[in-house]
A and B are shown apart, each in its own frame.
Chain A
Amino acid sequence: MIDSSRYPALGKLLDGQLSIFPEHQSYLERRFADADQAHLELADQISDLITRIAHDHLDEIFEDYKWLTGVFVEEEVYFRRNGTYRLSSFEDAERTVYVDPVYMRKYMNGLLASEVWWHNHTNAIGFYKETFLDCLPGSSRHLEVGPGHGLLLYLATQTERCKSLTAWDVSAASLTNTREALSAMGVERDVKLEQYNIYDAPDGEFDSIVFSEVLEHLEQPLEALHVLRKLLTQDGRLYVHAPVNSPAPDHLYLFRTPEEVVSMVEEAGFDVVETRFYPILGVPLERARAFDLGISTLVVATPSEGA
């Protein structure tokens, strides 16, 4: 499927995933069929990170990814039949997902594997590294809200540009996963992990804020962006990743187009610096739009003057 001598971490991960989920063979063949060298190199790097985060439970990650694909199909069926996400209240998402450590662990494990098995997620990590992390001013006070499996936060710990590191999550179970991931990666820097709902955030001041795959989990996403706006310094940078038309067990707010995400960020008092729209399964953007398919929408923004 790929040249394992050139991309050894990816090759090993593929072998492991397919031994547990052989039905995924034809999907994964298509997934990597047209990938160019740069994409394969990125996928190989992410595979190496996943292998290290997983530490001694890689098979569990493969199992949980398999489970999650089934969960997503169920959600997709609901979404296509009804044109809406299944849940609409935070209480429901909290009760069924966030407070359940077993569910949360499986979910975050599955999502971690999706970072390399899903075209759009791999591209999002590439964008996050190149266009966000590598462009941060030195000595940034860095905040991530909703770090989950910890991959993005780990990458932030690896850059000198982040002087201090803080992460908030509403779910204690999720924070446990993040903590374990950082410790498995041997991170020795001080990273403050605190349990907060974004709407009850304490006062603070940050130069970089990451909000990846959280906006669609909220009932009032615009208000959350206002909170982040207050926390961000005037020349600070915000990274938002929000998927469009992407049903999941805890997604509440349905963005129907990438432009809806971008204009909400602007409405909250930000100027957009960069955007990328990566459709699910690597399908062309026009097709994704025509058939209301999932599109990972990435935005880097900075506070508007005077806002």
Chain B
Amino acid sequence: MNRIGILAQLEGLIRDLFDEYQGPVTEDLSAHDVEQWDSLGNVQFVVLIEKTMDVRFSTEEMASLSNLGELMTLIERKKSL
């Protein structure tokens, strides 16, 4: 899957989980921009990604991501292993 495909999938999950957020979903988007994306929301989001994309994240990875772009790079790396 390419970056555009990954971003589209993540956008679907974000629109679902953080349904109050109306702004654009780009690589720059971070938890700070989305009111519902709190610490527990982050866990839900990442576990949803694990389930839909068949990848696994460590707790450190979950906590250290600063925006969607970084998350996408991590997913790409995991997918190419």
Q: Give residues in A with beta carbon < 8 Å to B.
A: 26-27, 30, 69, 73-74, 76-77, 80-81, 280-281, 283, 291, 293-294
Tally of B interface residues using CB under 8 Å: 15
Segment at the interface with A among B3-11, B21-29, B31-39, B72-80: B31-39
Q: Is B14 an interface residue (CB 8 A)?
A: no
Once A77-B43, A80-B44, A291-B17 are accepted as A-B contacts, the answer to whether A30 and B50 lie under 8 Å apart by CB is no
Q: Give residues in B with beta carbon < 8 Å to A.
A: 17, 32, 35-36, 38-40, 43-44, 46-47, 50, 59, 62-63
> Which of B17, B40, B46, B47 is in CB contact (< 8 Å) with A281?
B40
B35 to chain A, nearest CB (A): 7
> Which of B36, B38, B47, B63 is in CB contact (< 8 Å) with A81?
B47
Report yes or no: A73 in contact with B59, Cβ–Cβ below 8 A: yes
Report yes or no: A27 in contact with B39, Cβ–Cβ below 8 A: yes
CA distance A81 to B32 in the complex (A): 24
Interface of B is mostly: helix
Q: Which residues of B contact A280 (CB under 8 A)?
A: 40
Report yes or no: A77 in contact with B35, Cβ–Cβ below 8 A: no
Interface of A is mostly: helix
Count of A-B contacts judged by CB separation below 8 Å: 33
- Could you list some 15 contacts between A and B, CB below 8 A? A26-B32, A27-B38, A69-B39, A73-B39, A73-B40, A76-B43, A77-B46, A77-B59, A80-B44, A81-B47, A81-B50, A280-B40, A281-B40, A283-B36, A294-B40
> Which of A69, A74, A80, A294 is in CB contact (< 8 Å) with B47?
A80
With both beta carbons as reference points, the residue of chain A lying nearest to B44 in the complex is identified as A80
Q: Which residues of B contact A27 (CB under 8 A)?
A: 38-39
With both beta carbons as reference points, the residue of chain A lying nearest to B47 in the complex is identified as A80
Report yes or no: A74 in contact with B59, Cβ–Cβ below 8 A: yes
With both beta carbons as reference points, the residue of chain A lying nearest to B43 in the complex is identified as A76
Report yes or no: A77 in contact with B62, Cβ–Cβ below 8 A: yes
A118 to chain B, nearest CB (A): 11
With both beta carbons as reference points, the residue of chain A lying nearest to B42 in the complex is identified as A73
Q: Which residues of B contact A291 (CB under 8 A)?
A: 17, 44
Q: Which residues of A contact B17 (CB under 8 A)?
A: 291
CA distance A69 to B62 in the complex (A): 14
CA distance A237 to B20 in the complex (A): 41
CA distance A293 to B38 in the complex (A): 12
